[in-house]
Amino acid sequence: MALKIKDLRIYYQTLRGDVKAVDGISFQVKDGEIMGLAGESGCGKSTLSNALILLKPPMKYISGEVFLNDKKLPIDNYEAMRANRFRGVSIIPQYAMNALNPIRKLKQIISDLLEHHGESFVKMRDMIEERLKLVELDEKVLDLYPIELSGGMNQRMVMVISTLLNPSLLLADEITSALDVSSQKAVSKMIVEFRDRKIVRSVIFVTHDISILYQVADSIMIMYAGKQVERAPTETIVKNPLHPYTKLLISSLPEVGIKYSQAPLKGIPGRPPELLNPPEGCRFKDRCPVASEKCDEEPPLVEIEPGHQVACWKVGAIDD
């Protein structure tokens, strides 16, 4: 099992108290699996992915365990994590377009990084050039400065750098959010190719855009207000969602070919609860069309069928 997470809680420290951004998340990602992590802004998905590699104030580790390849991943220990960064876990951050030092040549940046991980740039040069081809970058790029490349090119460069040492787990944090549709397709396909070529073992693909996940993810996990809501293979989530929130999400996706006059877009009325003092019980109950009193008690995550988990009282065997 590539990644196993048990009851993880990560809060944000603020002047007014702790914001419960990730509040009791448990899931697993198999070897070779691309798991999509979707949800609204503020649901905790970015927090989760960043915490898995760089847990720094104002993020605070509260409880929970993380296992990478059956070995404990000490995310709460900044120093101990160092050995795991880049080799074990790696990330393509949301700010990838600005992630490279503007006044240092790209080959210098790579060489510095490799050196500190005990590798040699010279020896890896050929492999690096191969990877560059995969992301459609010319090898001449290595002699340039990041400012001489466009934002998109910088991002693809980061994709190459982050995966240079074939990490077990790659976290892709909103990498398509700032791109146009054709670039989105290209970048998503590159991630799949990385996995297919075994450049990365498993991927957690964080985004708010489910339509992208439909193209690339093997399974999708939906988060809401710091909690898990549903997890299932991609087909199931899209064709047969069970949780009310997921159902509303999927139905609010525009369908190609259908005009607004024929079927107006449905949104989900209301806003997510604030996480400083989240409500008791199910966090979706205030916006849920099928909520009842039972929802004042927090629904556990239950495996309805193999590979499909839902946290809702109205679903499956647990029914009132």
Partner 1 sequence: MKFRKSEILFFALRNTKLRIGVFIVALFAFLAIFGPYFAKYEPQDFAGPGYNPPSGEYWLGTTTFGRDVFSQFVYGLRSTFLVGFVGGSIATFIGLFVGFLSGYKGGLADELLMMFTNIVLVIPTMALLIILAAYLKYRGVFLESVFIGFTAWPWTARAVRSQTLSLKTREFVNLARITGMKPLKIIVVEILPNMLSYVFMVFILQFGGAILTAATLDFIGLGPTQGISLGLMMQQAVLWNAIQLGMWWWAVPPGIAITAIVGAMYFMNTGLDEVFNPKLREM
Partner 2 sequence: MGKYLRRKIIIYLLTFFFAVTIDWVIPRFMPGDPIRTLLSRAAMRTEAMDLLYNYYNKVFSLDLPLWKQYVNFWVSLFKGDLGTSVYLFPSPVFEVIKRAVPYDILLLVPAILLSWIAGNKFGAFAARKKRLDNTILPIWYVITATPYMWLGILLAWVFGVVLGIFPISGAYSFSMSPSLSWEFIWDYLKHWILPFGSLFIVQLGGWAIGMRNMIIYELESEYSRYMEAMGAPAKLIRKYAFRNAVLPQITGLALQLGVIVAGALATEVVFSYPGIGYLLLQGILNGDYFLIQGCFLFIILGVLIANFFIDIIYVIVDPRVRRGMSGETA
Binding footprint of partner 1 on the chain (CB under 8 A): 13-15, 57-58
Q: CB under 5 to 8 A by kind: which of partner 2, partner 1, none does 58 bind?
A: partner 1
Indicate the residue among 80 and 276 with the shorter CB distance to partner 2: 80
Min dist CB 317 to partner 2, Å, is 42
Quick one: 37 or 161, whose CB is closer to partner 2?
Answer: 161
The alpha carbon of 204 is separated from its chain's Cα centroid by a whole number of angstroms, namely: 5
101/183 with CB nearer partner 2:
101
Instruction: Note whether 71 binds partner 2 by CB under 8 A.
Output: no
Give the one entry of partner 2, partner 1, none that residue 8 binds, where binding means its C-beta sits below a cut-off of 5 to 8 angstroms depending on kind. Answer: none
Q: Which of 80, 147, 181, 263 touches partner 2 (CB under 8 A)?
A: 147
- Which stretch, 30-38, 53-61, 224-232, 235-243, contacts partner 2 (CB under 8 A)? 53-61
Q: Which stretch binds partner 2 (CB under 8 A): 6-14, 26-34, 48-56, 278-286?
A: 48-56
Specify whether the CB–CB gap between 192 and 216 falls below 8 A.
yes
Partner residues linked to 171 by β-bridges: 91, 204
Strand order in the sheet with 202-207: 89-92, 169-173, 202-207, 34-38, 219-224, 227-233, 308-310, 302-305
Closer residue to partner 2 (CB): 98 or 183: 98
In whole angstroms, the minimum distance from the beta carbon of 100 to partner 2 comes to 6
CB 34 within 8 A of CB 192: yes
Structure tokens at 305: 């069928």
- Of 151 and 300, nearer to partner 1 (C-beta) is 151
Residue 57 interacts, among partner 1, partner 2, none and using kind-specific CB cut-offs from 5 to 8 Å, with partner 1
CA dist., res. 19 & res. 11, Å (int):
5
Q: Where are the beta strands (DSSP E) in the chain?
A: 3-14, 17-29, 34-38, 59-68, 71-72, 89-92, 169-173, 202-207, 219-224, 227-233, 302-305, 308-310
Output phi, psi for 247, to 5 deg.
Answer: -60, -45
Nearer to partner 2, 85 or 185 (CB): 85
As to burial, measured by CB atoms within 10 angstroms (0-12 exposed, 13-18 middle, 19+ buried), residue 316 is middle
- The site partner of 15 among partner 1, partner 2, none (C-beta below 5 to 8 Å per kind) is partner 1
Scan residues 89-128 and list those touching partner 2 (CB under 8 A): 90-91, 93, 95-96, 98-104, 112-113, 116-117
Q: What are phi and psi of 284, to 5 degrees?
A: -95, 0
Residue 162 site contact among partner 2, partner 1, none (CB < 5 to 8 Å, cut-off depends on kind): partner 2
Count of CB atoms situated within 10 Å of the CB of 81: 18
Angle, in degrees to the nearest 10, between helices 181-196 and 151-162: 10
Q: Which is nearer to partner 1, 80 or 276 (CB)?
A: 276
Non-local CB neighbours of 200 within 8 Å, separated by 6+ positions: 90, 163, 166, 167, 168, 169, 170, 194
Under a CB-based contact definition with an 8 Å cutoff, are residues 282 and 199 in contact? no
- Contact residues for partner 2 (CB under 8 A)? 53-54, 56, 82-87, 90-91, 93, 95-96, 98-104, 112-113, 116-117, 145, 147-148, 158, 161-162
